Structure 1
Amino acid sequence: MSQEVLLEHLNDGVLTLTLNRPDRLNALNPPLLRELREGMERATHNHEARVVVITGAGRAFCAGGDISGKPEKKAGVDEVEATVKPVRKRAPDSVATRIEWLRGNMEAVRLLHQMDKPTVAMIRGATVSVGMALAAACDFRVVSQTASFTTGFAKVGFSGDYGASYFLTRLLGTAKARELMLLSDMLDAQEALRIGLVTQLVADAELEARTYDLARRLADGPPLTYRFMKKNLNASLEGSLEQVLDMEATHMVLSAMTNDQREAVKAFIEKRKPQFTGS
């Protein structure tokens, strides 16, 4: 490819993943879908990355799936061909292979949500369908006043993917999620803030500075504690109270045994900023 569709940059513990198709408002085509999944796998296992920021190049976060230019009768075939490496024989096109291909790429959003480090979506401009799912899967969403949001699936005859129904229901509640999915209305940044989709709403000129202020604050925190904390929070979405209490008790004792916890107490007593090592 002549252009890297996913950019990765690591600085001071903050790994930034940038969707890089600005001419298409970072709409996800098959190469970007594949790179996004692989990029999330790398981010998950990158121990130097304490925080992951996901954003889009140019004037949009992500305009959803790129459905332009696909012949109607070959939509599934083209996507399968574009994601299979040349050394492998392509499986015959069928409903099963289309489902398998899509589900495999959707692992990107599971990895993003379950990652044992804080995640931040830095959002300006259009955020549509898969873009909304990616944003909702993150722990934080720092949003420019230029941002707009719509699920968009219904407008093009799709039922929705990449966990949009899961994440929006848990983030906003079932009534609002159903409204957004079924009606596909456009939300401006202020309305997104009002309904709880946005963590911070900032001026466009301040978006990067404010996002990285938050990311650096998180990167300075205790990595092991964050890992346990995210496991607790994710378990609370599905587990019973008894299961969550059991998990919290286990993680509380384990976190109390870390060097970082001892450093936190020492720094508190000495009235200084703690230096966490992730041990």
Structure 2
Amino acid sequence: MTDEPDLLVDDRNDIRTLTLNRPHRKNAVTWDMWARLRDALIAAGDDPGVRALVLTGAGGAFCSGADVSVLTAGHPARKMRLLTQVASQLQELPMPAIAKVRGVAVGAGWNLALGCDFIVATPESTFAQIFTRRGLSLDLGGSWLLPNLVGLHQAKRLALLAETIDANQARELNLVTWVVPGEEIDLFVDDLATRLASGPPVALAQTKALLNEGASGSLRDALGAEARAQGVNFATVDAPEAFSAFTEKREPRFSGGWALDDLPSKTMAGSRAGENNA
């Protein structure tokens, strides 16, 4: 046991890392910790200086789920609303999120990883939808995430049998994006997060939302959403910057700035010029 916070927040080069920090419990999450994680996700989503997010665990484990050994007062429905808020905030983050998974990711811990946009694991990582072994059913979005990611029959296999699978099996089911050696995972995730953080933040946010919504919507809905999203993208400085970088044969410098920020000053300058010429 230590006096360290159970959730660590680190900012570096536009990348925010949230680390679940209860290694003595394989980072099992208490109810108070769920609230802190929810608040940390809200803060990240509201911070324009955060352009990529990494979620990981301390001490060789990602997360062993909710800590059911810690009893707290309150109706279960109130507690489940907290889990709902965490899952929603994670899904709706405007910036890309990466789960860096060492060791176990089980129950709500696995669904926490599945709620991210990318999962990077090591060969030693293991995964389980452990809920039925505890007399419980899926939570933290698992009942939506699994069927959307692997199809209904494989989702039932994982959830009803509560099997433990390794990283390579998870990769074959498209539940892990990359499997890399343990000694390489930090550099791999740092490089991935850096590449994402250097991208056009508004376009990345629009694309992420389109894919999330399109996964369970109709083609007509997707086409309408795409048209609206492009209108937002064209109103940023990033679209013309990408074109300039292409013609100048250099890497683009994306900022997510709003192209109309200086329109009032230009309009006023034009009006004054018109008055002087009258």
Q: TM-score, normalising length from structure 2?
A: 0.89
Matched, 1:4 2:5: yes
Q: CA deviation at 1:251?
A: 1.0
Matched, 1:259 2:237: yes
Q: CA deviation at 1:65?
A: 1.4
**Equivalent position SS for 1:121:** strand
State the partner residue of 2:66: 65
Could you tell me how far apart the structure 2 residues matched to 1:108 and 1:271 are? 42
Could you tell me how far apart the structure 1 residues matched to 2:134 and 2:174 are? 26
Residue from 163, 179, 182 that aligns with 1:204:
182
State the partner residue of 1:217: 195
State the partner residue of 1:226: 204
Residue from 193, 209, 213 that aligns with 2:171:
193
State the partner residue of 2:86: 108
Q: CA deviation at 1:144?
A: 1.0
Residue from 162, 177, 184 that aligns with 2:155:
177
Matched, 1:25 2:3: no
Residues 37, 106 of structure 1: 8 Å contact kept:
no
- Matched AA of 2:134: V
Could you tell me how far apart the structure 1 residues matched to 2:179 and 2:4 are? 31
State the partner residue of 2:97: 119
State the partner residue of 2:48: 47
Structure number with greater Rg is 2
1:78-117 correspondence to structure 2 within 5 Å: 78-80=72-74, 97-117=75-95
State the partner residue of 1:93: none
Q: Specify every segment of 5 or more residues in structure 1 that has no aligned partner in the other structure, as ranges.
A: 81-96
**Equivalent position SS for 2:145:** helix
Residues 222, 276 of structure 1: 8 Å contact kept:
yes
Residues 119, 176 of structure 2: 8 Å contact kept:
yes
State the partner residue of 2:134: 156
Could you tell me how far apart the structure 1 residues matched to 2:37 and 2:149 are? 23
- Matched AA of 1:57: A
- Matched AA of 1:34: A
Query: Bigger shift: 229-238 or 44-53?
Result: 229-238
State the partner residue of 1:36: 37
Residues 30, 79 of structure 1: 8 Å contact kept:
no
RMSD: 1.4
Residues 34, 82 of structure 2: 8 Å contact kept:
no
Q: Deviations over 1:202-233 (max 9, x none)?
A: 00000111011100000000001011112211
Q: Deviations over 1:93-130 (max 9, x none)?
A: xxxx3202321233111111111110100001001001
Residues 5, 31 of structure 1: 8 Å contact kept:
no
- Spell out structure 1 runs of 4+ moving beyond 6 A: none
Residues 44, 115 of structure 1: 8 Å contact kept:
yes
Q: Deviations over 1:222-256 (max 9, x none)?
A: 00101111221122133222111111011123212
State the partner residue of 1:130: 108
- Matched AA of 1:58: G
Q: Deviations over 1:135-175 (max 9, x none)?
A: 11111011111100001001111112111111111111111
State the partner residue of 1:84: none
**Equivalent position SS for 1:106:** helix
Q: TM-score, normalising length from structure 1?
A: 0.88
Could you tell me how far apart the structure 2 residues matched to 1:229 and 1:190 are? 28
Q: How many residues align?
A: 256
- Matched AA of 1:145: P
Residue from 192, 212, 219 that aligns with 1:241:
219
Residues 31, 79 of structure 2: 8 Å contact kept:
no
Residue from 104, 116, 121 that aligns with 1:143:
121
Could you tell me how far apart the structure 2 residues matched to 1:262 and 1:57 are? 42
Matched, 1:274 2:252: yes
> Percent identity over the alignment?
36
Q: CA deviation at 1:79?
A: 4.5
Could you tell me how far apart the structure 1 residues matched to 2:219 and 2:23 are? 45
Could you tell me how far apart the structure 1 residues matched to 2:216 and 2:230 are? 20
